[in-house]
Structure 1
């Protein structure tokens, strides 16, 4: 077992990853900007990827470091994420870390990627610039309670009896359950066959965003939501619309929407050779996410 650092430990993926790693016997450091208020599993450590000087202490003695942060809610997210990734990779190399694990975004290198996906791809390279082998897991939409993309889907289905959506909503994507993302992230830790490699991860279903909304509505209420596709609804207008009918802010919505015109599906399955097992269907992913969302509301 290894000493592991998890950045973004209180985030959507991190708060599920930390207990999973602890359950596997790893010694986990949960890095957060407010360590004094951390209430999860593992050892809380203070650190901020945007403050290079704060990374030295959390990295000491660490063998595996997870990088699970991004700045989608910032207008200047590309520069901020590039600077943070470069600093993190340097700190990891200085500390003797032997593996960085990064959750990136799907999308072919030959595609016209959005700023969001282009930034994710840039971060992959910058994390490894100082010489630490990087294991990359590229995913599309991760379905789980608290995830921005899932919350958009859940709130649209919950709040609107019918929808008018832009043409990009017919683009195909390959959603994956949060449970499977965590399983893959844990499975590649310290795995010799995962060092310095890029893996594509996704569930078994290739769906358009319209189809995802329909399935979510059926799982939630047993009935479909009437959806009409229109040719003109710009990303800027779409982001304002999302901010109006969901609690996702316009900047984050715009950065996500810019990526939705790009088809993001899995083109290779090599992850299954390293971490065997069948991923959950989209419908099952939705069912689990809805249960978790309801449980959180009940606890609140």
Structure 2
């Protein structure tokens, strides 16, 4: 893996300066908090393919090409990375992207990372640089940190060299963790601080994180490594709150209490800061761990941030204030996003030993025909088309068409191609997929971009609930299958 990077740089750097080609970096989340800031640094020495779900208001420049990309689609991911030498992965799925999202952020992150890793391998990328969180030495990680580690392993699974930058709390305007902390300090003159606020953490200023990401791209010395980064100070969350209050010029009374649990704390933080629980809950759950960089995982090149916490906090607060003032200008008109009544439903199921995603997809169809009988029946129209229908009328409720050209033993893809429960006028990319998680005996079952024909309120509390119940039953059933049983071997 390292050799691939060395060969690339030996060729490009030995070219005549007048003809030397700038490297091409694909940047995910380019319109987001960290991505937008990193974009400005990268264009000084690289051409950037800036990836975002929505690029309506974006314009290409000499060194920036914007591409719309839905990373839930493998085809989109492959097209997005075409022509790139390197990629920076800044994706996280804490906030839902569909009108109705069923499933955990951990399982959705699996799909995003798996599509990206497969696409990177297909397009021959030299390296992926991934921004993750510091992983504490604990056997019981929080959901958020466990997911970050799983994503890292998936990105490595298809052979592309990966450099992981693991950071704790990033101090900068916007973002997630620091703005939440700042809102708490700003809104609460008296704060009751639970036990987790005395845990040690290793904050790092946004410019120091950007430096680490920028200097990891094409760096053969860091290829295949997970590098911890941190600022010049380790401190407790309580001390960060105290210094943030000083940066605001405010006095805050802080009282240590032993009885606020993590569950109560996450609700309290969400309500106080008016931040979506989908973002707050996983972050607060991670605070039970000490989030400090491990010396053995640090690099002299990029790990040691130089900006003190209070300086970074003061700068971030000033930037937030400037941006808030700009939003109040009369010329600043924000158009609300159009609402699509689309559905994404993602569940994780076990795979019997030795079985693959293509097996479980076909087995699901056979099991479902028994499960819904006699109220519904599943009919195989031909070798690639399956219909769920009412027995009396023989009218399809839903129709699925297998896509052999987009399927492998590790991924079975079906397009939703008809049925009275589908809005045929709006459906463009509705699909059902079964995807094995790399190096695990587990499978992700996902419905993407499904447009139901039922009125939205009725669908949400009938068909959507029924689908979750069916998947729960299928998951329970799979756990009972003996891999050597006649049932498992007959499919």
Which bracket does the TM-score occupy, shorter chain normalised?
over 0.9
Query: 2:204·2:305 contact (CA, 8 Å) conserved in 1?
Result: no
Q: What is the TM-score of this pair, normalised by structure 2?
A: 0.58
> Structure 2 residue aligned with 1:62, among 70, 73, 84?
84
Q: How far is the alpha carbon of 1:39 from its aligned partner?
A: 5.7
**5+ residue gaps in structure 2?**
1-21, 97-102, 328-491
Query: 2:229·2:304 contact (CA, 8 Å) conserved in 1?
Result: no
Runs of 4 or more, structure 1, over 4 Å off, are 269-272
In the other structure, the counterpart of 2:28 is 7
Coordinate RMSD, CA, aligned: 1.8
Query: 1:235·1:254 contact (CA, 8 Å) conserved in 2?
Result: no
Question: Which structure is higher in RCO with an 8 Å CA cutoff and minimum separation 6?
Answer: 1
Query: 2:114·2:154 contact (CA, 8 Å) conserved in 1?
Result: yes
Higher strand proportion? 2
In the other structure, the counterpart of 1:292 is 319
Q: Secondary structure at the match of 1:100?
A: strand
In the other structure, the counterpart of 1:30 is 50
In the other structure, the counterpart of 2:269 is 242
Query: 1:107·1:263 contact (CA, 8 Å) conserved in 2?
Result: no
> How far apart are the structure 1 equivalents of 2:308 and 2:299?
16
Q: How far is the alpha carbon of 1:271 from its aligned partner?
A: 5.0
Higher helix proportion? 1
> How far apart are the structure 1 equivalents of 2:265 and 2:297?
36
In the other structure, the counterpart of 1:91 is 119
Q: How far is the alpha carbon of 1:211 from its aligned partner?
A: 0.7
Q: Secondary structure at the match of 1:260?
A: helix
Q: Secondary structure at the match of 2:275?
A: coil
In the other structure, the counterpart of 1:21 is 42
1:115-194 → structure 2 map (5 Å cutoff): 115-194=143-222
**5+ residue gaps in structure 1?**
none
In the other structure, the counterpart of 2:257 is 230
Q: How far is the alpha carbon of 1:165 from its aligned partner?
A: 2.2
- Number of residue equivalences: 298
The yes-or-no answer on 1:76 pairing with 2:104 is yes
Query: 1:145·1:151 contact (CA, 8 Å) conserved in 2?
Result: yes
In the other structure, the counterpart of 1:256 is 283
Query: 2:265·2:284 contact (CA, 8 Å) conserved in 1?
Result: yes
Computing the radius of gyration from Cα coordinates, the structure with the larger value is 2
Deviations 1:143-172 (A, max 9, x none): 000011111111111111111122111111
> How far apart are the structure 2 equivalents of 1:71 and 1:230?
33
In the other structure, the counterpart of 1:48 is 70
In the other structure, the counterpart of 2:239 is 211
Q: What is the TM-score of this pair, normalised by structure 1?
A: 0.94
Q: Secondary structure at the match of 2:221?
A: helix
Query: 1:173·1:207 contact (CA, 8 Å) conserved in 2?
Result: yes
